Amino acid sequence: MSTPTSEHQHPEAGTPQRFFAEFPYPAYETWRAEVESTLKGAAFERKLIKKTYEGISTLPLYRPEDVAHLSHITSLPGFAPFVRGTRAAGYLPQPWLIAQELPYALPTEFNKALHADLERGQTAVNLPLDVASRTGHDPDQAAVGAVGLAGVSIASVDDLAEALEGVDLTQVPIFIQAGASGLGITTLLVALLRRQGRAVAQVRGAIGGDPLGTLAATGSLPTTLERAYAELAALTIWACDHAPNLATIEVQATFYHDAGGHAVQELAYAMATGVEYIRAMLARGLSIDDVAPRMRFAFAVGSNFFMEIAKLRAARLVWSRIVAAFGGSAESQKLAMHARTSRWNKTQSDPYVNMLRTTTEAFAAAMGGCDSMHVGCFDEVIRLPDEFARRIARNTQIILQQECLFTDVIDPAGGAWYIEHLTDEVARMGWALFQEIEKAGGMLAALQAGTPQQQIAATASERIKSLATRKDILVGTNMYPNLKEKPLELHEPDYAALHRTRAAQLAEHRTHDDTADHTTTLDKLAQMLTAAPDQLVATAIAAAQAGATLGELTRTLRTEQAGAPISVTPLRMQRGSELFEGLRAAAEAHLQQHGERPQVFLATMGPLVQHKARADFAQAFLEVGGFGVQYPHGFDTAEAAAQAALASGAPIVVICSTDETYPDLVAPITQQIKATNPAVRVVLAGYPQDQVEAHKAAGVDDFVHLRANVYQTLQQLQQQIGVSA
């Protein structure tokens, strides 16, 4: 990072030159003394040094001295340990791929959206399989609700042909989130390419199998882990010979982020999962230089801008060291990285704010050097995205690339003292947690022991507590709510109808299929489960060409399953805003039933200057819970305020004034209200500690103040007046 007061390396000089060296530079101690003089006696460390969820203490100011010792600080893009990116020229020859997910259930719907988006700037196919397909089940064999859920229903070569109609996969990279169906879906894709006369060797992208990710997210696998690894190894061996540009192993670290984990946890669990896969593949005959280039990591990017940049950079650093320790080449040490915006911080309340969140997250992902990116649609936690939502998400990436000219500079974060220091901290702490997992037996053993789940749950609980107390802010949810917002129109699929439609389509496919031919090839496949991987995959492809479905292929491949079924406690996928959304939902239900929101009356006392600060605070506090707030002009007497409060019919009254006036006002207002209607809840705006007990004795039920747990206070108020979702 170069600034007018930094050292500058002249292109033709061998030593740094300092700008304006003739002027004296203030010492750090001088700067710190100046800052401390503004803190009014507060300790510098307590006031200005912040502790992150990762346990990292961030300083208010970073200097060259803070990064001079870092081993990676002099590294260059394209060279180990790849902190500054895996490509020497960065994004100059080619920017990151715009790989937007299109989660539409029917192949024809997916294809329509895909063409619309490819024509408008998307540069890769990103096909998420639905739950049924990810577990290897045909629609007619899957449960209602699994077909079309969270992705595209693919059961046959014909389905893939419909989904990818008009798309030349030798020109457009493809990414398929395959879950536990990597081998089966790859055979369908290769069969389609052969039907089209295209060579799979020319296809770029990934069909990523991620058994441990599936296990962590769902708690179980549709097969034994031994069989899942055997399929992964067979597919990877085949890809080494036939599909050199196709990754076959995926590490979905996004699950850990979206369950509430922090950057160090996401990094460590990703690395531990990657190492588990390497060992499993090495045990099945592959080399490290076969395996590592076939792996792809997917990270979520959240709202802590600098932390997320550091996480992505640290991931490349740590992975490079890991692969090097296995004896991998410099090329194999390069980490292929997909980034997607966070789900954890997305809200159903004021959903358009999600556009702003994803913009900063996309910026961080690009700064961190991702190879491909998905920007979540602003409504993704509410409904299936429409064309408008997809356009805004896609254009976020296009603007970064084409308007911001972000691709013109290689690793713009490189050399920034804060980012470099944070990168090192995340890498070191991630490495330490990774080593703990290794000492405990690896990622599988950790998941079986419940360690990652417990650690993630603890972090999520801490995050939720911070949101509940507004230490952390979600705009439009726990702060600055918009009670006038119009709910988005829902267009969720009819899963029962989808199940019937897809089952009927599959029945038609089987009617037109050469049953004898594909049965013969499936029988042959069943006899080759212990054959060489190339033969196994070739036979599976032949079965797919003959009409075998994904479910049939999967059942045949898993006829003989070594090992025992495995299950673990799944991660709890959640969003930070869910508790507050429950409050808003309860208030909205009350509005629909009674024609008005649950009401609160502000007993504002005296002139504006006396009550405004606390009244404004109380209004904003209560609107977070969906309350309708009556905000009158100030009252001159306690009696007038009490009478107006009772006349309003509001079941909650908040007294708003100053600490100095409360001793004379609170008791008479409260006692008059309670004498007439004991059911009214009287709340005080503020928390004058030396007066609290006296006010409680006078009948005050609660307090709203800066240190209050906003969620608990609002929930209790709703319950006390009979409001429930």
* E-state strands within 547-640: 599-604, 628-630
- Percent of the chain scoring above 70 in pLDDT: 97
Helix (H, G, I), strand (E, B) or coil at 308: helix
Q: In this structure, are 459 and 520 located in the same domain?
A: no
- What local confidence, expressed as pLDDT, does residue 479 receive? 98
- What local confidence, expressed as pLDDT, does residue 5 receive? 38
Span 200-227, average pLDDT:
97
C-alpha to C-alpha distance for 267 and 319, rounded to whole angstroms:
10
Q: How confident is the model at residue 376 (pLDDT cuts 50, 70, 90)?
A: very high
C-alpha to C-alpha distance for 598 and 590, rounded to whole angstroms:
7
Quick: pLDDT tens for 219-235.
999 999 999 999 999 99
Reply yes or no on whether the pLDDT at 725 is more than 70: no
Quick: pLDDT tens for 465-486.
999 999 999 999 999 999 999 9
Q: In this structure, are 531 and 659 located in the same domain?
A: no
Contact 177, 128 (CB under 8 A): yes
C-alpha to C-alpha distance for 306 and 309, rounded to whole angstroms:
5
**Is 359 within the bounds of a domain?**
yes
Q: Which residues contact 402 (CB under 8 A, 6 or more apart)?
A: none
Q: In this structure, are 552 and 582 located in the same domain?
A: no
Quick: pLDDT tens for 573-615.
999 999 999 999 999 999 999 999 999 999 999 999 999 999 9
Q: In this structure, are 536 and 667 located in the same domain?
A: no
Q: In this structure, are 243 and 308 located in the same domain?
A: yes
C-alpha to C-alpha distance for 443 and 679, rounded to whole angstroms:
55
Single out the residue in 426, 450, 468 at which a domain terminates: 468
- What local confidence, expressed as pLDDT, does residue 314 receive? 99
Q: In this structure, are 529 and 677 located in the same domain?
A: no
**Is 490 within the bounds of a domain?**
no
Domain that holds residue 632: 578-720
Q: In this structure, are 343 and 246 located in the same domain?
A: yes
Span 618-627, average pLDDT:
98
Reply yes or no on whether the pLDDT at 2 is more than 50: no
Span 424-439, average pLDDT:
99
**Is 170 within the bounds of a domain?**
yes
The chain-wide mean pLDDT, for the chain, equals: 95
Q: In this structure, are 696 and 603 located in the same domain?
A: yes
Q: How confident is the model at residue 527 (pLDDT cuts 50, 70, 90)?
A: confident
DSSP string covering 415-467: T-HHHHHHHHHHHHHHHHHHHHHHHTT-HHHHHHHTHHHHHHHHHHHHHHHHH
**Is 533 within the bounds of a domain?**
yes
Span 121-143, average pLDDT:
97
Reply yes or no on whether the pLDDT at 3 is more than 70: no
Helix (H, G, I), strand (E, B) or coil at 250: strand
**Is 613 within the bounds of a domain?**
yes
Give the CATH number, domain containing residue 708.
3.40.50.280
Per mean pLDDT, which range of 151-165, 246-260, 437-451, 488-502 is the poorest?
Answer: 488-502
Contact 699, 671 (CB under 8 A): yes
Reply yes or no on whether the pLDDT at 206 is more than 60: yes
Q: In this structure, are 541 and 647 located in the same domain?
A: no
Single out the residue in 416, 449, 468 at which a domain terminates: 468
Q: In this structure, are 615 and 691 located in the same domain?
A: yes
Q: In this structure, are 676 and 626 located in the same domain?
A: yes
Give how many domains the chain has, as a whole number.
Answer: 3
Q: In this structure, are 411 and 539 located in the same domain?
A: no
C-alpha to C-alpha distance for 81 and 396, rounded to whole angstroms:
30
* E-state strands within 152-294: 174-179, 205-209, 246-252
Span 681-704, average pLDDT:
98
**Is 451 within the bounds of a domain?**
yes
Quick: pLDDT tens for 47-63.
999 999 999 999 999 99
**Is 277 within the bounds of a domain?**
yes
**Is 60 within the bounds of a domain?**
no
